[in-house]
Amino acid sequence: MIPVDEALDRIFLQLDTPQPETIPLARAHRRVLAEPLIASQTQPPFDASAMDGYAVRASEVTPERPLRLAGTSQAGQRFVGMMEQGQCVRIFTGAPLPIGADAVIMQEQAHADGNLISFDKAPAPGQNIRRRGHDFRQGQELLPAGVTLTPAMLNLAASANYPALTVTRRPKLAILATGDELVAPGGTLGPDQIIASNSYGLNALLAPFADKIVDLGIIFDDKAKLESALLGAFDYGVDVVVTTGGASVGERDYVREVLLDLGVKLDFWKLQMRPGKPLMFGTRGSTLVFGLPGNPVSAMVTATVILRPALRQMSGHADPFWPQIYLPLAADLPPNGPRRHFMRGTLGRNEHGLMRVTPIGETDSSHLSSLALADALIIQPEDDPGQSAGAIVEVIPLAWG
């Protein structure tokens, strides 16, 4: 049985450098940028108006002397020629500034009498103008490699004239559940059976970091069938195989035995954590193999703590352990034993609006309803003596990643 940190170190040593691929901009949301985004053009490409109003020479504007309207400049159709002395140009937001103008007066401060336009006061030079390159200039780095692309970042990339982006390739996964006792949702339960739930939670948890997830369904406790399913996953060429159940030492827990028979090199199979002690990790060539516990809470917690950081690293995220934050406790935390405890908790706010976390007392590894109500895991160190309300603890928010 090895500590959690050592397990993560061993896994990360097996991870290859993420590889790039180019995809259309429309499919790049939440993907990780593989190389810096460099501006291919200047934005805005010309001096532009920041208001609907009138382009003027600031030095010519006085309340008592109107200017003559020379024409219009609008987005996509600029005023042609030079604005001469004593003239102004009607201009709209985003339109190019006419040659000769150095300020824009908003239309609410202007008064038209035919083609004569008077103004309440003189503007400062540069007023209401977006200068060429105010947002960015050609050759400027707009985004660094390793960022997870947000909607605003996609907007920026589009404005920099990128129809496609180079992002890191995400791994392909295969998931299977094992156990004679399992029945798919909607099926008819026998007297000694339960509904299989793990694959549904794991699919949703891991999908943001996977190019594809192949769900191999439920494999009964039969060595030949388990071997056939696993060989199919390996032959398909997935990067990661995830099993749930069958990872303990019972007479019908065949996962470890079959993996060894198939040439999987097992690195470890027990972790010093709760929930989730019976967790296996190994490799078969370049394929990573994770054997998660069958208990639903254990499966989800180990996937959150161990598997998700590995997938984030494989898919190029700059911080594989995000999100982990520190928050004060809203209630006392009881003492812990020799295994690191990832305790269920709920996030909330105190009377000042500051965030805090409340422990959930339920610790049973099959108690799914408590995990469903939890939106955080409190990381309690090994042999922790317990903490009083107000103490600062490390927390993994469950809905942020």
**What is the model's pLDDT at position 190?**
87
Q: What is the gyration radius of the CA atoms in the chain, in angstroms?
A: 31
Q: What is the pLDDT of residues 237-295, one digit of tens each?
A: 999 999 998 766 555 578 889 999 999 999 999 999 999 989 999 999 999 999 999 99
**Could you give all domains of the chain from N- to C-terminal order, each with its CATH number?**
4-18+170-314 (3.40.980.10), 20-43+135-168 (3.90.105.10), 48-130 (2.170.190.11), 325-397 (2.40.340.10)
Structure tokens belonging to residue 189? 């339960």
What residue ranges of the chain have pLDDT lower than 70? 247-252, 401
Distance (Å, rounded) from C-alpha 361 to C-alpha 87? Answer: 76
**Looking at residue 9, what is its pLDDT?**
97
pLDDT score at 366:
86
* Dihedral over Cα of 205, 209, 211, 214: its sign: negative
**pLDDT score recorded for residue 221:** 85
- Per-residue burial over 164-185, b = 16 or more CB atoms within 10 Å of its CB, e = otherwise: ebbbbbbbbbbbbbbbebbbee
**Cβ(51)–Cβ(104) below 8 Å:** yes
Q: 0.85 exceeded by the pTM? A: yes
Query: What is the rounded distance in angstroms from the CA atom of residue 225 to the CA atom of residue 160?
Result: 53
- Structure token digits, residue 381: 């160190």
Cα 227 to Cα 396: distance, rounded to the nearest angstrom = 35
Question: What does the DSSP assignment read for 280-324?
Answer: EEEEETTEEEEEE-SSHHHHHHHIIIIIHHHHHHHTT-S-TT-S-
* 199 backbone dihedrals φ, ψ, rounded to 5°: -60, -30
Q: How far apart are CA 118 and CA 265, in angstroms?
A: 83
Residue-wise pLDDT for 82-95, tens only, equals: 999 999 999 999 99
Q: What pLDDT is recorded for position 195?
A: 87
**Residue 228: its H or E element:** helix 223-236
Q: Are strands 110-113 and 116-119 parallel, antiparallel or unpaired?
A: antiparallel
Return the structure tokens found at 364: 């049973």
DSSP for residue 363? -
Q: Are 249 and 257 contacting, i.e. CB atoms less than 8 angstroms apart?
A: no
pLDDT at residue 247 in the model: 62
Q: Which tokens in the block code for residue 349?
A: 């706010």
How many residues are present in the chain?
401
> What is the rounded distance in angstroms from the CA atom of residue 284 to the CA atom of residue 393?
38
CA gap 283, 278 in Å, rounded = 17
Separation of alpha carbons 121 and 273, rounded Å: 72
Please tell me the predicted confidence (pLDDT) of residue 344: 97
Rounded to whole angstroms, how far apart are CA atoms 23 and 80? 40
- Position 384 scores a pLDDT of 97
